[in-house]
Chains A and B, each alone.
Chain A
Amino acid sequence: MNKDTLLNHHLVPKHEILSKKEGEKILEKYGVTPEKLPAIKENDPVAKAIEAKEGQILKITRESPTAGKTHYYRLVSK
């Protein structure tokens, strides 16, 4: 499917790949090891579209009904 169609769809929130440094910051903030983060598969359509590789952390900006914009993090895994 077309990449733009996928990433602009109203159900798909914004996914960003975090740099190593940013990722470590997040892990420290929540006091967790990477495996404890929720996962996203490497072959997930969105992960594929933004070319995320295994081991990277994705920052997902969701529109939450209770809190407005919120951030969620997922670890790219096999």
Chain B
Amino acid sequence: MQVNEYKPKIVAFCCNWCSYAGADLAGSNRLAYPAEVKVIRVPCSCRVNPMFILRAFQRGADGVILCGCHPGDCHYTSGNYYTRRRMALLFSMLDYLGIEKERTRVEWVSAAEGAKFAATMNDFVKTVTALGENKRLEDLRCKK
């Protein structure tokens, strides 16, 4: 008998200039990363409003990862520096409310780091799978 294995839903916000290209590189190098990762392309990591992250959780994501250019390499000069401050505060707040801190992550992945992208995603999916379903941030009103 086949047992239904738990597969987490992961949302990955990737910046257009580095991390999305990194994901592309991982693909063209045939490096495998789990299909549970849904990549959403954003123009810059600082386009990601903290609300996007909470919204993903509300609608049933089990983990949210945000990838951007390495600090100093932002296509728009300083976008990821703002991201860094915002996410530091947001993650600290989520932890303060008792949300598992492993469910959120920020990684800097450049366009040349296809291997890092695949490794990061593999690791993140493994972590979130171990945590199980997100019950603490889901919102039944938003799930249809």
Q: Do A and B come from one complex?
A: no
